[in-house]
Amino acid sequence: MRYALSRLLQFLFVFIVVTFVVLAISRIGSDAPARDLAGGAVSQQQIDEVTQRYHLDQPLVVQYAYWLKGFVTFDMGYSYIQSQDVGDMFRQRLPVTLFIGFWATLIGLIIAVPGGVYSAYRRDGWSDKAMSFGSFAMLSLPALVLGVILSYLLSVRFVLFPLIGNYVAPWDDPWQHFRNFFLPSITLGVGLGAIWTRILRTDMIVTLQSDYIMLARAKGMSPRRVLWVHALRGSVLSLLTSVAINIGALIGGAVVVEEIFSLPGVGLRLVESVQTNDLLTLQAIAAAFVVAVVVINFIVDLLYAVVDPRIRHVRALA
């Protein structure tokens, strides 16, 4: 319980600092935030309205408090440049980004779990060598390069997938959903899978040498059960951390693949909003991404304690 509380405090601190920094950064170079928030050339009356609504006459800290309240309650204001409520924009576009992230993580795990476990089990065998060669190559293959090459091969040369994607929910039309999301997800998933394979392999090699594995084997348990139930459970922790650490990279990757495959997601809107100087959308999206990273890391920290009882009792470690 003390563990959870100290994590919670740290989480709140980091949360407040990073969201404040996002707000502060998005004000850099804006000599008249009211004008930028109202969308460029506007009347004095509109500027006054915006000033009133976002409390721009107050110091930045007060503005931040109001903005954070709006952000948390999903009342993020109205973007005059896009003529759209920012909350509605999220409702419309977030599913795209979430699906990319979800499928990419799933593909990564489908590659990494069997790959990592088997390489560790048959360590230094030919399959292990082939797999570490492959994962090293994939690790060095930027999503940008893989995405462009895949889109060239599979949507230009052989027209199997659409070159310009759009959002189709899987429950509306699973086939179209697959066609639109397969390439972006595989682009990100392969890279993640390569990282996780390496981490899982290293961790499993250590786990497989520990006493409780030897005990399980000595009891006559089948190697398969030892490997997939006992050993994997011990290694899930480092995999979990790595999944959390890579959330930031995954979000960045989502921005890139949305651009490559023209998927109308939140990342694509972020790029547009920087170009059009759409401050309101800009700060909302950047904050949403940063908050996603912080929250997921917090959840993983707590999960950690659930999976590994030693962490729950801090003193037991000392």
Partner 1 sequence: MTVTIDLEQAIAEEATTRRRRRRPGSLGAWLGAAWLLLIGGMAVFADYLPFVRGYAQQVPYARNFAVHPGSDFWFGSDQLGRDVFARCIYGARVSLLVAISSILVGLTVGGVLGLAAGYFRGKTDRGVSIVADCLLAFPPVVIAILIVGRLDALSETGFSVLWWHPTRTWSVVIVLSLLSIAPITRIVRAQTLSLSQREFVVAARSIGANRRRILLREILPNLVPAMISVAFTGIAILLVAEGTLAFLGYSVKVPTPTWGYLINESRPKLRDAWWPTIFPCLMLFLTVVSFNLIGDRIARHFDVKEAAL
Shorter beta-carbon distance to partner 1: residue 28 or 218: 28
Does the protein bind partner 1 through residue 222 (CB under 8 A)? no
From residue 265 to residue 294, the character string flagging contacts with partner 1 as x (rule: CB under 8 A) and all else as - is: --x--xx--xx-x----x--xx--xx--xx
Binding residue for partner 1, selected from 141, 221, 236, 240, defined by CB under 8 A: 141
Does the protein bind partner 1 through residue 248 (CB under 8 A)? yes
Binding residue for partner 1, selected from 48, 88, 128, 259, defined by CB under 8 A: 259
Region of residue 263 (phi > 0: left; psi between -120 and 50: alpha; otherwise: beta): beta
Q: For the CB of residue 259, give the shortest distance to partner 1 in the complex, in Å.
A: 6
Binding residue for partner 1, selected from 252, 299, 307, 313, defined by CB under 8 A: 252
Binding residue for partner 1, selected from 28, 61, 317, 318, defined by CB under 8 A: 28
CA angle 251, 252, 253 (to 5 degrees): 90
Does the protein bind partner 1 through residue 190 (CB under 8 A)? no
Q: For the CB of residue 275, give the shortest distance to partner 1 in the complex, in Å.
A: 7
Report the alpha-carbon distance of residue 164 to residue 68 in Å, rounded.
35
Binding residue for partner 1, selected from 103, 297, 300, 301, defined by CB under 8 A: 297
Shorter beta-carbon distance to partner 1: residue 5 or 218: 5
Does the protein bind partner 1 through residue 136 (CB under 8 A)? yes
Give the contacts of 241 (CB within 8 A, at least 6 positions apart).
300, 304
Report the alpha-carbon distance of residue 68 to residue 65 in Å, rounded.
5
Q: For the CB of residue 214, give the shortest distance to partner 1 in the complex, in Å.
A: 24
Q: For the CB of residue 151, give the shortest distance to partner 1 in the complex, in Å.
A: 8
Does the protein bind partner 1 through residue 40 (CB under 8 A)? no
Binding residue for partner 1, selected from 4, 8, 9, 25, defined by CB under 8 A: 25
Report the alpha-carbon distance of residue 237 to residue 254 in Å, rounded.
25
Q: For the CB of residue 245, give the shortest distance to partner 1 in the complex, in Å.
A: 8
**In contact, 302 and 308? CB cutoff 8 Å:** no
Q: Exposure pattern of 212-237 as b/e (b: 16+ CB <10 Å)?
A: ebeebeeeeeeeeebbeebbbebbbb
Does the protein bind partner 1 through residue 183 (CB under 8 A)? no
* Residues of the shown chain interacting with partner 1 in the complex, contacts defined by CB under 8 A: 10, 13-14, 17-18, 21-22, 25-31, 136-137, 139-145, 148-149, 151-152, 156, 247-249, 251-253, 255-256, 259, 267, 270-271, 274-275, 277, 282, 285-286, 289-290, 293-294, 297
